[in-house]
Structure 1
């Protein structure tokens, strides 16, 4: 018995030392109800960040240390020893010892009780997978190919393409999705832990691991409002975050405040999700999230609303393209196509390279996907947006949300959106304040009731899919009125910048005829 106790003590000591470095043994982030950081935990966090910084900069650091001699090398070794000693102090931490015991039991026995036990800890991604379409034998749509599949590179003759491939997979991807950079995630960790704790404590959130068809593990958070009795609770809002957004602190909070059931998820490589956020991986992740909502959470696909902010419009538009029965889509501060925005930040001499790279590897063409959806759409435009404008926030006409609206209206109502229809809509889009917007609208004497009756009459007589031919036998004045009416129904302005959280009062269900 004493020999067994000795072996157990040695095993526990080893686990305490390995801690974060051991892939199958995550860090203890404290209980959700004890999320304040002690000085020691804060120091460990900073030491961990320094370790990561030295790891990523190690090639340059080693050359520098070699030139400076052994003194700096000895200092570096001393820092690493200090970090190791801080980890060893976990042996004296009763919370950490209890954490290890619960974790090992959860790994051996995947029971609901063990899942609940591990869920009490911040930063711990539960080992028991909540949903794997292959294991659950559900039909997945992840096989739906993207508009431009990623090409295979062969042979030495493709050296230039290989170079582009490497640039995209290193610098380009991190520039487009800064939230996947480890150092940024470490800096944001306290904020993410606070947000995760809030979702679980205040909203009874359920954290689940989903396995996409490519093997990536997707970190999700579900808040169920169906039992609250409110009408909005019966609708599930699936949230797609921006390029540096996480469900812990992202757009998930907007529909939550509106009383909806909400399902948030992190991009591959963000937070607890594994992988890298390339378009196909993003689509695979979105697919398994929808499958989970339908087959495990029990929502009808017609009760699902997809809500996205910024670059999240790619996965949101992919979702409604691939699952056309989805109730509606809301795109906040999103764009029509990545290429114009990529060209904006790169030198003109790089234009051919940027075009090739974006189209081959990062073809986030939201408009092309959105046009394949027949359901209700709402676009929210930030009138002082500094990110998705091509000339600057002061020029509201350079906002790529305008192009997304025009492409959608031109596809759905081609007889209304003639040259004159486009002209009046662009005039309306040039309004940066509600007063200017109302002035343009009233200037053309738009009769809302008449517009609704014309569209309803066309729909009742034909019951056809988009594009519609309504407006082909109409006067110029009538087409102008319909163009402005539809523009205001499909888009709402919000007077703020790109990164301002959207208030619940600005989150609306899209217009239905």
Structure 2
């Protein structure tokens, strides 16, 4: 009993046991475990708040002359109470047969790797202790100085003292609040608010589609939370794997995964570094390592040929999707839904004009998400989906002509059909791109010049409009039609 108690002392929280039937399977802790767990959760919350407010707390303690003996005794009593809470929780877990069965499953020797993970996937528990399913070879680490900090400068024409100041401020901003403004899904309070929807979404994927969760170790030693739904035996389309890349507040649990799944395709979802169970932060380099590990996992562990993989990126997820397409040029195709050409114009549009230089430095030096630049390096099939009511990537909400997806399309056409670079043709391309699909259909029925008709055909080849706002899930029939265009492009 003592050995079991020690094993349960710092063991993970158990949330659910799958396969118990609809509405069943939620783990019910005993009263002692539940009470102690609440105390420990409150302490963790206070500790997290204290970490962010530590400078203020330390200054206050210093000014009042540190601690008195009474306060030291109180802190000792507090730590003793917290330690006792861990013991009470361990006792509650050790006396619960359901939890004991779970901990025995987690800790048992791995003789048959496949059978071990299948038995472990019966449970939903804290992901930080989930065993690693797939590992990438580590990259050689380099020190901060070896990476030549501040070697990049987005404003080289500024005077030296001004340039150095902007670079320092950009470094501080990008490593404190700026990245979190770009990726709100990394903010702890948002993840806490979404905990129940994420838990329910994960349950839905496992119970309804037999989803298989896995932890992947990247080359830079972050761990990525993934979910795989295998439709190879259930649908003729299942031999194609769709890898889904979510938006800046998107998680695979409540994101775009369900669209390709319901359309009959095998699907692999993953969370950005710093999202959900994934570690790290979504700086471009970490994003690249993450999607590289996901694709390698799909090829080496899930046994998909690279020619049967489609990258599906929604919104800011277009960046890792496009990066994967460039680095795995033999993939079946690339779908960019509600995505943009470059982060900088959108960032400028959201921030005060007085911050223009700082915003440019932050984006170009630290978060340079330039999807068009990546698309210029990829020659495979591409399909763009544009939301006609998009309120996020339009510089002026509701105005289709300001949708940055237009620029993504124009840059793609410039690369693949260079003749449109002529001034008179480019103006027609811009004008036609600003039209909705219905307007283009009406225009094509009129008596128009051949060059304009050819432009309309090119736009229809790469772009499909969807009448919705930014965050609406793409319907399965539209996704299926997009996949049909990908197949016909091969």
* TM norm. shorter chain > 0.5: yes
Per-residue deviation, residues 468-513 of structure 1 (Å, max 9, x unmatched): xxxxxxxxx2221111111012111111111111111221213545
Conservation of the 8 A alpha-carbon contact between 1:218 and 1:266:
yes
2:106 is equivalent to residue 103 of structure 1: yes
- Structure 2's unaligned 5+ residue stretches are 141-145, 152-160
> CA separation in 2, counterparts of 1:278 and 1:493?
30
Conservation of the 8 A alpha-carbon contact between 1:444 and 1:480:
no
Conservation of the 8 A alpha-carbon contact between 1:428 and 1:440:
no
Structure 1 segment 341-356 matched on structure 2, within 5 A: 341-356=346-361
2:267 is equivalent to residue 267 of structure 1: no
1:419 is matched with 423
2:132 is matched with 129
2:169 is equivalent to residue 167 of structure 1: no
Conservation of the 8 A alpha-carbon contact between 2:311 and 2:321:
yes
2:222 is equivalent to residue 225 of structure 1: no
Conservation of the 8 A alpha-carbon contact between 2:166 and 2:358:
no
> CA separation in 1, counterparts of 2:416 and 2:83?
61
Per-residue deviation, residues 36-75 of structure 1 (Å, max 9, x unmatched): 5879599679747844653454337737987999999989
1:114 is matched with 116
Conservation of the 8 A alpha-carbon contact between 2:388 and 2:467:
yes
* Cα distance, 1:217–1:57 mapped onto 2, change above 3 Å: closer
> CA separation in 2, counterparts of 1:168 and 1:215?
21
1:442 is matched with 445
* Cα distance, 1:288–1:313 mapped onto 2, change above 3 Å: same
> CA separation in 2, counterparts of 1:72 and 1:390?
56
> CA separation in 1, counterparts of 2:40 and 2:431?
52
> CA separation in 1, counterparts of 2:383 and 2:80?
53
1:350, distance to aligned residue in structure 2 (A): 1.3
Conservation of the 8 A alpha-carbon contact between 1:52 and 1:183:
no
1:225, distance to aligned residue in structure 2 (A): 1.1
Please point out which of 439, 457, 461 is paired with 1:485.
457
Give secondary structure in 2 for the equivalent of 1:263.
strand
1:153, distance to aligned residue in structure 2 (A): 4.8
Conservation of the 8 A alpha-carbon contact between 1:223 and 1:262:
yes
2:314 is matched with 309
> CA separation in 2, counterparts of 1:184 and 1:86?
27
1:82, distance to aligned residue in structure 2 (A): 8.1
Give secondary structure in 2 for the equivalent of 1:170.
helix
1:92 is matched with 92
Please point out which of 200, 210, 213 is paired with 2:216.
210
2:473 is equivalent to residue 497 of structure 1: no
> CA separation in 2, counterparts of 1:72 and 1:340?
54
After the TM superposition, which of the residue ranges 191-200 and 39-48 deviates more from structure 2? Answer: 39-48
1:182 is matched with 188
* Cα distance, 1:340–1:48 mapped onto 2, change above 3 Å: farther
Per-residue deviation, residues 62-97 of structure 1 (Å, max 9, x unmatched): 37987999999989x989958974883453241333
> CA separation in 1, counterparts of 2:363 and 2:276?
25
1:474 is matched with none
Give secondary structure in 2 for the equivalent of 1:268.
coil
2:158 is matched with none
Give secondary structure in 2 for the equivalent of 1:319.
helix
1:246 is matched with 251
- Structure 1's unaligned 5+ residue stretches are 20-25, 136-141, 144-148, 446-476
* TM-score between both structures, scaled by the size of structure 1: 0.78
Conservation of the 8 A alpha-carbon contact between 2:15 and 2:26:
no
Conservation of the 8 A alpha-carbon contact between 1:416 and 1:480:
no
Structure 1 segment 187-206 matched on structure 2, within 5 A: 187-206=193-212
2:149 is matched with 152
* Cα distance, 1:438–1:212 mapped onto 2, change above 3 Å: same
Structure 1 segment 281-360 matched on structure 2, within 5 A: 281-360=286-365
Aligned length: 450
Give secondary structure in 1 for the equivalent of 2:302.
coil
Conservation of the 8 A alpha-carbon contact between 2:166 and 2:361:
no
> CA separation in 2, counterparts of 1:317 and 1:45?
43
Give secondary structure in 1 for the equivalent of 2:255.
coil
> CA separation in 1, counterparts of 2:454 and 2:277?
47
> CA separation in 1, counterparts of 2:40 and 2:388?
39
1:394, distance to aligned residue in structure 2 (A): 1.8
Conservation of the 8 A alpha-carbon contact between 2:183 and 2:282:
yes
2:13 is equivalent to residue 27 of structure 1: yes
1:121, distance to aligned residue in structure 2 (A): 1.8
1:465 is matched with none
1:217, distance to aligned residue in structure 2 (A): 1.4
Give secondary structure in 2 for the equivalent of 1:380.
strand
